[in-house]
Chain A
Amino acid sequence: MNVQDVKIGILSVLASVAPELEAELLVPDRPLRRQVDLDSMDWLNFLVGLHQTFGVDIPEADYARLVTLDDIERYLFARLDRPQS
């Protein structure tokens, strides 16, 4: 899985929670919740969806670090099981 796949995977989980979002308008280094209307239940569902899609455990203690799309992408990419290249 390369960075682009991760990016697409994140957006597809996000779209399942907030299907109204216009992905091309998202600014990757700005707080996601200021750009997409997500209440606390949506946010939890989004994080649970990421766990299910990527198989990466996201302990609640890490939630505070996941603010922007870039944060989330870096976080997941660093923890993905990848074949040695």
Chain B
Amino acid sequence: MLNSSIIRKTPTDLRVRPNLNDYDLQRRMFGWDEAARALEGLPGGGLNIAWEAVDRHASGPLRDKTAFRFLGADSASRDISFAELSRLTNRFANVLRRLGVRKGERLFLLAGRMPELYVALLGGLKSGAVVSPLFSAFGPEPIITRVNLGGCKVLLTTDLLYRRKVSQWRERMPSLELVLLVGEDGGRTDIPGTFDLATLMDEADDACDIERTSPEDMALLHFTSGTTGMPKGAIHVHAAAVTHHATGRYALDLHPDDIYWCTADPGWVTGTSYGVIAPLLHGVTSIIDREEFDAERWYGILQQQEVSVWYTAPTAIRMLMKAGDGLAAKYRFPRLRFVASVGEPLNPEAVWWGKKVLGLPIHDNWWQTETGGIMIANTPAFDIKPGSMGRPLPGVDAFIVRRNEATGEITVVAEPDVEGELALRSGWPSMFRGYLDNEARYRKCFVGDLYLTGDLVRRDADGYFWFIGRVDDIIKSAGHLIGPFEVESALMEHPGVAEAGVIGTPDPVVGERVKAFVSLRQGYDDSEALRTELLAHARKRLGAAVAPKEIAFLAALPRTRSGKIMRRLLKARELGLPEGDVSTLEGGASS
């Protein structure tokens, strides 16, 4: 193991002066009110993320600068300047208004990383709509669940995805009134019950009055997985841009001349906060690759596009490691100066691999859907302890707490190297403002002024935080949270399944892989054919990104006396760990 060592930074490691260079002083001096002054606000009052991200630059010296460069395997790259992005997003906002979409109504996005997705996200915000990007690899069930939870009125998607995942289920989504389609092959679409976006955009005006949203108006809805229920819609407001700007500055160290590549899909919160909003706020050029991961392709992009700041994920890094150092050696990255990672803890070997192969160590950081932005990070100027998520950024106060399950009270642990739940002092601008229609669940996240994250961590004597695990059953796979309940529900829809329990099992590449245990109803045999059928059933409903990779049959699943499936026990048995407290286990149910 390499994790006992530290990667020391020296001035020669730094090609530009880092934005965060005096940790204690800058933390002491930092205030969110002061940070908010980095944004201009709408002319005449109000705050709108899209105006700060796009129009502010489109009317100034950056107007002709490339905001996004889209790359595709079988299409030429397409550059969109800040000025063009402003016009396109104006048009899109006008399209929504013409269709009668009003402030606060919900626009959902379901598409690959194509220009229209980005235009719709920002144009939707301009119109005052609340935007919810969905992961395009979701199957129909996760889509239906989220559309219904979020009260989606307008959906932007492609003809292909619409046919495959939406059209035959529309009657199950009563709030969905309008569907805007983009032709997957670039052409026009003509499907009954939908609008062709390209036609509407042609007819729309270039100019638009941006909705005068206030800092506390709802802007984005990001769904996150629950452990005992369906996903929760985390509400984010326009003021979140203050955090996106500050963290783009301190955690990603964005400088005006950077070429920045965030590999996350906007269907996940990272791809929205840091794939769209943060770089635009800083007027920085972003690379967007429309293709799936491929080691050679990715090295090629880093080299040819002269990427200087790269924000990626542990799964991708581990796949690059698997592809071998020989492949990396064929490429040169003289412009690359900062690499960061998020999604799940980055193992020390991967941090060191970066230093050896890319010439730069990889900086892990930590945040979650609810925090809306990076909270704890390794940053350019400071030593890295490989395996650690780093230290709290300016404006973030992080604590280790212990919950007393009986009283609900918490105690803050002051001494170092003690395990406990990570808690953050509430009040940063991108903190979620609620779970949609679930006030009780939201309130449960807070004790006093502390937000409890659900992540178990420890803090060492130098103030670095180390991730240990989740306090709940949520699965982290390829950087995404997967709620076991959602997967179990889909499996239970199969007539042969009596009960289902879903856990994450360790995987060297994706962190955790989804494994399902099922018991069968009378009349069904645990055959290989049925296993395949269940796998197909789950994949069709949930999509490959959420569906189990492995299904095992059990005669019965362990349950508590109150009838809840004990996933913790399934996991302990799977991993050969001590079973812990089984006093609540229902008699006779053990396998």
Q: How far is the CA of A16 from the CA of B539 in the complex (A)?
A: 12
Contacts of B327 in A (CB 8 A): 60-61
Chain A residues near B297: list those with CB within 8 A: 64
Question: Among the listed B323, B324, B539, which residue makes an inter-chain contact with A20, where contact means beta carbons less than 8 Å apart?
Answer: B539
List the A residue with the shortest CB-CB distance to B535. A19
Task: Report the bound CA distance from A39 to B533 in whole Å.
Answer: 19
Instruction: Please state if A63 and B294 are interface contacts (CB–CB under 8 Å).
Output: yes
Q: In the complex the two chains form, what is the Cα distance from A83 to B315 in whole Å?
A: 41
Interface residues on B, range: 20 to 34
Q: Is the CB of A40 within 8 A of B296?
A: no
Q: Flag if A37 contacts B294 (CB, 8 Å).
A: no
In A12-69, the 8 Å CB interface with B consists of 16, 18-20, 31, 33-34, 37-44, 60-61, 63-64, 67
Contact of A41 among B73, B139, B295, B478 (CB under 8 A): B478
The answer to whether B549 and A41 touch across the interface, beta carbons within 8 angstroms, is: yes
A-chain residues with CB within 8 Å of residue B543 when the two chains form the complex: 37
A19 contacts B536, C-beta separation under 8 Å: yes
How many chain-A residues does the 8 Å CB contact rule pick out? 20
Question: Could you tell me which residues of chain B, from 82 to 97, have a CB within 8 Å of some CB in chain A?
Answer: none
Determine how close the nearest CB of chain B comes to the CB of A25; give it in whole angstroms: 11
Question: CB distance B478 to A37 under 8 Å?
Answer: no
Q: When the two chains form the complex, which single residue of A39, A42, A61 contacts B296, counting CB atoms closer than 8 Å?
A: A61
| Closest beta carbon of chain B to A23's beta carbon, Å | 13
Residue of A nearest to B74 (CB): A31
Q: Is B350 an interface residue (CB 8 A)?
A: no
Nearest residue in B to A41 (C-beta to C-beta)? Answer: B510
A65-81 vs B, CB cutoff 8 Å, 1 = contact: the mask equals: 00100000000000000
Using A38-B544, A42-B544 as known contacts, say yes or no to A60 and B536 having CB atoms under 8 A apart: no
| B544 A37 Cβ-Cβ under 8 A | yes
Q: Which residues of B contact A31 (CB under 8 A)?
A: 73
Interface check B322, CB cutoff 8 A:
yes
User: In the assembly, what is the distance between CA of A40 and CA of B478, in Å?
Assistant: 9
Nearest CB on B from A55, distance (A): 21
Q: Which residues of B contact A16 (CB under 8 A)?
A: 532
Q: Which of A18, A34, A64 contacts B544 (CB 8 A)?
A: A18
Report whether B540 and A20 are in contact in the complex, using a CB–CB cutoff of 8 Å.
Answer: yes
CB distance from A6 to the nearest CB of B (A): 22
- By beta carbon, the residue of chain A nearest B327 is A61
CB distance from B121 to the nearest CB of A (A): 22
Docked Cα-Cα span, A20 to B510, in Å, equals: 22
Closest residue on chain A to residue B532 by CB atoms: A19
How many angstroms from the CA of A19 to the CA of B534 in the assembled complex?
9
Given contacts A61-B327, A64-B296, A19 and B539 within 8 Å (CB-CB): yes
Q: Does B509 contact A (CB under 8 A)?
A: yes
Q: Which of B292, B533, B539 is in CB contact (< 8 Å) with A18?
A: B539
Q: Could you tell me the distance in whole angstroms from the C-beta of A32 to the nearest C-beta in chain B? A: 11
Are A40 and B293 in contact, with the CB atoms below 8 A? yes
Contacts of B539 in A (CB 8 A): 18-20, 37
Tell whether A60 pairs with B323 under 8 Å between CB atoms, given A19-B532, A19-B536: yes
Binary contact readout B112-141 vs A (1 if CB under 8 angstroms, 0 otherwise): 000000000000000000000000010100
Interchain CB contact (< 8 A) of A40 among B292, B532, B537: B292
Nearest CB in chain A: distance from B25 CB, A: 42
Beta-carbon contacts under 8 Å, B306-326 to A? 315, 319, 322-324, 326
Q: Contacts A60-B327, A64-B294 known; A40 to B536 CB distance under 8 Å? A: no
Q: Which of A39, A60, A67 contacts B295 (CB 8 A)?
A: A60
Taking the nearest CB of chain A, how far is it from the CB of B540, in angstroms? Answer: 5
B549 engages A37 (CB within 8 Å): no
Q: Determine if A40 and B319 form an interchain contact, defined as CB atoms under 8 angstroms apart.
A: yes
Name the B residues within 8 Å of A34 (CB-CB). 160
CB–CB B533/A19 < 8 A = yes
**How many angstroms from the CA of A43 to the CA of B544 in the assembled complex?**
11
Is B513's CB within 8 Å of the partner chain A?
yes
Closest to A67 in B: B73
Which residues of chain A are within 8 angstroms of B315 by Cβ–Cβ distance?
Answer: 40
C-alpha spacing A85/B510, complex, angstroms: 45
Interface residues of chain B, those whose CB is within 8 Å of chain A, are 73, 137, 139, 160, 292-297, 315, 319, 322-324, 326-327, 478, 507, 509-510, 513, 532-533, 535-537, 539-540, 543-545, 549
List 13 additional contacts besides A38-B544, A44-B509; criterion CB under 8 Å. A18-B544, A20-B536, A20-B539, A31-B73, A39-B478, A39-B545, A41-B513, A42-B544, A44-B319, A60-B295, A60-B324, A63-B295, A64-B297
10 residue pairs of the A-B complex, CB under 8 angstroms, read A39-B137, A40-B292, A40-B319, A40-B478, A41-B478, A41-B513, A60-B322, A60-B324, A64-B294, A64-B296
